[in-house]
């Protein structure tokens, strides 16, 4: 396990070196992502031109929720971007065979290839948004709070990344696996609003089945000092359990793939 993690970081280091080679791509990626975020924020602003709260949440609250979601998504993007196109990028081109021949779990190789440092800018933006909204809502910024924001942000990224990784096994059957991953990933949109507004089915869907709410809604409550229970503990547990299941699902997919051939 420790060996695998060490190798994972070596792979990430290699990806970083590669990104430096493509500085221009990197900067363009960053700019377009930020532009995309600004558009989303404008959309929220327009909604609040017509109403002053959604289920008791004000504009500031909603921007805070949006910032928290964005931080989790940025972490997901940086660490798990390479799970998108396993089918097209790796299996169709036969590159997956060489990954399977390495003396480490193939997920280490795949995740180690993630290279969207473009999302680093996006990460900084989300932290600024979170902190400034908290100040506006008159919440004292303590060292503990900053730690919570960072730690829960990483856990949120791991939660969404886990869901993405589990669905990436679609690549073992279809070259268009990115579309499968993309459609599941879109569920995060539901987590950008307070879950009070949803019916029971959607609540269960985004807390228990695909726990997107733990990457957005619940940390937001925690920062607003409205949380119940020890969220750091609960989310750590969710991440561990989720990833045990994800790896099981992934290995199952891999075994299916190896017995049918491609």
Partner 1 sequence: MALIEVKDLVKKYKISQKKHGVVGYIKHLIHPKYKEVTAVNNISFNIEEGELVGYIGENGAGKSTTIKMLTGLLTPTSGKIEVNGIVPNEKRIQNNKQIGAVFGQKTQLWWDLPVIESFKLIKKMYDLSDKEYEENLEKFTKILDLKDLLDKQVKNLSLGQKMRCEIAATFLHNPKVVYLDEPTIGLDILVKENIRKFIKDINKEQKTTIILTTHDLKDIEEVCDRIILIDKGNIIYDGEKENFKNEYGKHIIAEFIIENKSKNITLETSEEEFEVIEESENSIKIKFNHDKLTVMDVVKSVSNYCEILDMHIQEEGLEEILKEIYRGEIIND
248 touches partner 1 (CB under 8 A): no
Report how far apart the first and last C-alpha atoms of the chain are (Å, whole number).
Answer: 29
**Shortest CB 255 distance to partner 1, Å:** 7
How far apart, in Å, are the Cα atoms of 57 and each of 48, 49, 126, 193, 197? Answer: 11, 14, 19, 9, 10
Q: Give the total of residues touching partner 1 (CB under 8 A).
A: 26
What residue spans of 137-197 are helical by DSSP H?
Answer: 143-167, 177-185
Structure tokens at 46: 């327009």
89 touches partner 1 (CB under 8 A): no
State the binding string over 133-172 for partner 1 (x if CB under 8 A, else -).
----------------------------------------
Which of 43, 94, 199, 226 contacts partner 1 by CB under 8 A?
94
**Shortest CB 17 distance to partner 1, Å:** 6
Structure tokens at 213: 């709410």
Binding positions for partner 1, 6-65, rule CB under 8 A: 6-7, 10-11, 14, 17-18, 21-22
**Shortest CB 137 distance to partner 1, Å:** 45
Task: Quickly list DSSP for 5-43.
Answer: HHHHHHHHHHHHHHHHHTHHHHHHHHHHHHHHHHHHHHH
At residue 54, the 3 state secondary structure works out as strand
261 touches partner 1 (CB under 8 A): yes
φ/ψ of residue 54, rounded to 5: -120, 115
Radius of gyration of the chain (CA): 19
φ/ψ of residue 204, rounded to 5: -65, -45
Which of 103, 143, 201, 228 contacts partner 1 by CB under 8 A?
103
**Shortest CB 85 distance to partner 1, Å:** 15
Residue 230 or residue 255: which is nearer to partner 1 going by CB? 255
185 touches partner 1 (CB under 8 A): no
Interacting residues with partner 1 (CB under 8 A): 3, 6-7, 10-11, 14, 17-18, 21-22, 93-95, 97-98, 100-105, 255, 258-261
């Amino acid at each position: 396990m420790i060996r695998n993690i060490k190798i994972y970081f070596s792979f990430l280091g290699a990806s970083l070196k590669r990104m430096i080679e493509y500085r221009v791509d990197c900067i363009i990626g960053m700019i377009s992502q930020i532009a995309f975020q600004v558009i989303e924020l404008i959309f929220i602003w327009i909604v609040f031109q017509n109403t002053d709260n959604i289920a008791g949440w004000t504009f500031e609250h909603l921007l805070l929720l949006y910032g928290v979601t964005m931080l989790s998504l940025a972490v997901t993007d940086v660490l798990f971007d390479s799970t998108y196109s396993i089918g097209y990028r790796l299996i169709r081109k036969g590159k997956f065979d060489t990954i399977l021949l390495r003396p480490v779990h193939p997920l280490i190789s795949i995740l180690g290839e993630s290279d969207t440092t473009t999302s680093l800018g996006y990460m900084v933006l989300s932290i600024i948004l979170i902190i400034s909204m908290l100040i506006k809502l008159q919440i004292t910024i303590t060292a503990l709070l900053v730690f919570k924001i960072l730690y829960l942000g990483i856990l949120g990224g791991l939660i969404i990344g886990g869901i993405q990784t589990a669905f990436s096994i679609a690549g073992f059957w279809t070259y268009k696996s990115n579309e499968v991953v993309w459609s599941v990933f879109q569920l995060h949109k539901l987590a950008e609003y307070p879950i009070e507004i949803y019916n029971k089915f959607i609540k269960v869907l985004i807390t228990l089945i695909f726990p997107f709410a733990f990457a957005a809604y619940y940390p937001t409550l925690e920062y607003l000092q409205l949380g119940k229970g020890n969220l750091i503990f609960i989310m750590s547990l969710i991440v561990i359990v989720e990833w045990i299941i994800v790896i099981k699902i992934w290995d199952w997919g891999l075994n299916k793939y190896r017995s049918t051939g491609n």
